[in-house]
Chain A
């Protein structure tokens, strides 16, 4: 199927009334999630995973989840600008200049340029996804078990090294994820692992329970101990349409942010957070007036907001073409696909073109919906922050408990949920991120299965992972990126003592 025929087919799927409704719902929920501090896209998709069982069509379910993901990138800027409170991690950097602009009475311009930049970047990112995904999927068809193993491990290691502040802590969470994935029946020997006589554990941990516990409940437990309060800007929001001067100052920032976001988003672990940080740093470096950054520079809002939206589009490339989720939110979408009996990866485009193209087409539509939802309704979204934690917390707890129970109809899952919630809470207190654990849990069966198949192929030699060219190239790519990161780290350390 050629590119345009595929995309047309996708639009015929995405434009059905039910899929349009779910794209709208996804965009709406995503914006709300982005606005509400503390509840990120990964947590919300985790909370909504039980609904994937009830939604009949896999395309519809994924359209909803994808809508939440990219919708949250739009919504995140609202509270960053108006309250100096990032709704989700990718909008942290928007606070710096966005809130300053709001204090100077230019909240409307900041919100407007964030939404318009997001729309442009999201759409350009989608064009890139449309163009690059099919050839990558075709190339990935040649992957055997050793390549799959190398890809999964390299993807996981990249996610660990790029996403968190401590590599050791990221690796610990990755190890926990792989260990939790191994609980239950071993598919080859038929032995049960780590079940210790508990019947419910023989089928392993349920991903929905793990994700809802780590992200949903863990977040609430953390919130019970610390209450964050933001200061709403009381000045008038004003016109959300940027002036000609604003356009001139931000057009190149939008373009650069789009490109940075697109390429960073493709890398596992890169994602929206890193792309927004890289974009902000790049804008400050390139600017003729770097001193204006931090004082309300519009480029400091336009660049990062464009970058995080472009990254959210491009992060679908490794998922849809290689079957590798690059971040926690995409891992939830990966799980939703598996729940619906669809295996993401190179065969997806051939076996389920309706899912592949339908989801991509729905993202074009959802992106257009988001600009309508965000620009005129910005005041309404800002009011959402007033929902008290005292009501939000027990509702989320109820949602996770009932959702977890509804998957298999057993109370044991609620106890597991509480256990994962406590684990997530302790991990967060100690500075661990849940993302690598969830990614490793999702990829665990693939890692173990492909490793065993590879060893069988090679007669027990681990050399197979570096003897085959694609596998060797993947390992080499990781080595280059890891060495690059190490060099940056060492340079920073060297510069630190003398720096002002």
Chain B
């Protein structure tokens, strides 16, 4: 975690400085009596960079403080890492891709088709369920969600440009 935190803190410093630069050069700071559009973002950017530096220092000193402490068994760490990597590859990444695909076809295929496809995809790809159960859950969820958003909340859901 320390390595990840250190990388993230450096990214935060760079991001904060970029925000401060953009706010100063593009948005403009204005005068103290009448601050410009970039005044507050500039201060936020500088604060982010300073906080990133403080975070980096904190993780650096924490890692030095931990040096004398007993470390957990390397085998169990490796096992835990492998399990987490497997979960990321089999559940997390397919899940994200499915949601992005759902967003892409949402207006194109329309609410009902895209939602049923997404739910079937989720049950098959992420949860590894059988076809029957996947289709049943997909139809029930798509119907319930339609009833809630379209019927009860009077929202407008897309019919689908592919079919119009």
* A406 CB-CB contact with B under 8 Å: yes
Report Cα–Cα, A461/B31, bound state, in Å: 11
* A452 CB-CB contact with B under 8 Å: yes
Say yes or no: A414-B96 contact (C-beta < 8 A), given A175-B44, A224-B126. no
Asked if B27 and A193 make an inter-chain contact with CB atoms under 8 angstroms apart, the answer reads: yes
By the criterion of a CB under 8 Å from any partner CB, how many residues of chain B are at the interface? 64
Give chain B nearest CB distance to A185 CB in angstroms. 9
Asked if B5 and A191 make an inter-chain contact with CB atoms under 8 angstroms apart, the answer reads: no
Contact of A399 among B58, B119, B145 (CB under 8 A): B145
Contact of B157 among A191, A390, A402 (CB under 8 A): A402
Main secondary structure of the interface of A (DSSP, over half): helix
Contact of A189 among B36, B48, B123 (CB under 8 A): B36
* B51 CB-CB contact with A under 8 Å: yes
* A307 CB-CB contact with B under 8 Å: no
* B77 CB-CB contact with A under 8 Å: no
* A455 CB-CB contact with B under 8 Å: yes
Asked if A171 and B47 make an inter-chain contact with CB atoms under 8 angstroms apart, the answer reads: yes
Asked if B153 and A406 make an inter-chain contact with CB atoms under 8 angstroms apart, the answer reads: yes
- Which of B44, B102, B119 has most A Cβ within 10 Å? B44
Report Cα–Cα, A224/B36, bound state, in Å: 44
* A178 CB-CB contact with B under 8 Å: yes
- Residues of chain B contacted by A402 (CB below 8 angstroms): 111, 115, 145, 149, 155, 157
A370-423 interface (Cβ within 8 A of B): 390-391, 393-395, 397-399, 401-403, 405-406, 409, 411, 414-415, 418, 422
Give chain A nearest CB distance to B160 CB in angstroms. 12
**Other CB < 8 Å A-B pairs besides A179-B48, A402-B157, 17 of them?**
A169-B55, A172-B55, A175-B16, A179-B45, A186-B37, A191-B27, A193-B37, A220-B95, A225-B88, A390-B129, A394-B122, A402-B115, A402-B149, A411-B103, A455-B34, A456-B33, A460-B33
The 4 closest A-B pairs by CB, nearest first: A460-B32, A460-B33, A54-B153, A406-B155
Residues of B within 8 A of A (CB): 1, 4-5, 8, 12, 16, 19, 22, 27, 30-41, 44-45, 47-48, 51-52, 54-55, 58, 84, 87-88, 91-92, 95-96, 99-100, 102-104, 106-107, 111, 115, 118-119, 122-123, 126-127, 129, 137, 141-142, 145, 149, 152-157
